[in-house]
Structure 1
């Protein structure tokens, strides 16, 4: 697997490293490709489900249809990584200016502390990705571009990488009872 890296901006309050988060997302992506986790797509919103979590990390499965995206945001005090299972995602990230990178199926990216980004599926083909955060998310801040400057607009407390999206309370796995459709779970 290929992973783009950025220099770490500081140590996070976690014993897990960015490399360990990449290993975690890559192993979970292999489980998704093997059909061990249910995948759903929603034409209106990104669909997500928490696959695992403990005191050190949360792992999420997220699906994307065409033009679904996040807003420019950070993960507060959490490190992050993602592996694209299928499809291609585009990440717009801040590095003394807004930069772009394409992350194809089988590839990944890491998010050190202070990493501000927006992720979008620009393709007609749906995309599936696995994300891990350590420590588990507690907050996210959102940003806007003001000319050539990045400005924080607001911050929220959250344990969910998709705070404006319906997520499931149950973790669906192969052989388990069907999970509720988005809108029937929490939020």
Structure 2
């Protein structure tokens, strides 16, 4: 799919004001949010969410779309699942929840919490360190769009007043 450039949406302007770390270009962030909004509005989208096995504790992933500008992923979250502290290397990102709710803890020199629901879009630039969790007792499904190649993920340990790099892995 190719999307023509348009003026920034109100959701983008609101999300942009909350971006605290890493400053990708406005054009890239606007593109990611626009792709996120257009996909999230598709009524059949949840049919593509990966199924979770009974008793699953790990997330399940489905690559929806990959272009030169972005990757779009659906992620199914069992109750209690967490990403652990990580960043997305050189990729910027945007995500929302399609079903359920998530909590994003992020680190930009201080700990911040954000509750993510279907009415929330979170955006971040490269180097944004966060931990996304499903703290509810029900499964959740989220939609993530990354710009730039999702070519690495760095993992961190949260030490209360700082984070420490543990290692890196190739991206998806």
TM-score range, shorter chain: 0.7 to 0.9
Gaps of 5+ in 2: 1-9
CA drift of 1:50 comes to 0.1
SS at 1:17 equivalent? helix
CA drift of 1:16 comes to 4.9
How many residue pairs match? The answer is: 155
Query: What is the aligned partner in structure 2 of residue 95 from structure 1?
Result: 108
Matched residues in 2 for 1:95 and 1:148: separation? 11
Query: What is the aligned partner in structure 2 of residue 138 from structure 1?
Result: 151
- Of 51-60 and 98-107, the range deviating more from structure 2: 98-107
Q: Residue 139 of structure 2: which of 126, 129, 139 is its match?
A: 126
- The answer as to 2:33 corresponding to 1:22 is yes
Matched residues in 2 for 1:94 and 1:8: separation? 9
Residue pair 1:25, 1:82 contacting (<8 A) in 2 also: yes
CA drift of 1:20 comes to 1.7
**With structure 1 as the length reference, what TM-score do the two structures score?**
0.75
Q: How does 1:158-169 map to 2 (within 5 A)?
A: 158=171, 160=172
Residue pair 1:92, 1:100 contacting (<8 A) in 2 also: yes
Give the RMSD, CA atoms, in angstroms.
2.0
Query: What is the aligned partner in structure 2 of residue 38 from structure 1?
Result: 48
- The answer as to 2:115 corresponding to 1:105 is no
**With structure 2 as the length reference, what TM-score do the two structures score?**
0.81
64 and 58 in structure 1: CA distance in 2 versus 1, 3 angstrom threshold: same
CA drift of 1:113 comes to 1.8
Query: What is the aligned partner in structure 1 of residue 68 from structure 2?
Result: 55
Residue pair 2:104, 2:114 contacting (<8 A) in 1 also: yes
Matched residues in 2 for 1:64 and 1:156: separation? 21
SS at 2:41 equivalent? helix
- Which of the pair is proportionally richer in helix? 2
CA drift of 1:95 comes to 2.2
- The answer as to 2:18 corresponding to 1:9 is no
Q: Residue 128 of structure 2: which of 115, 120, 140 is its match?
A: 115
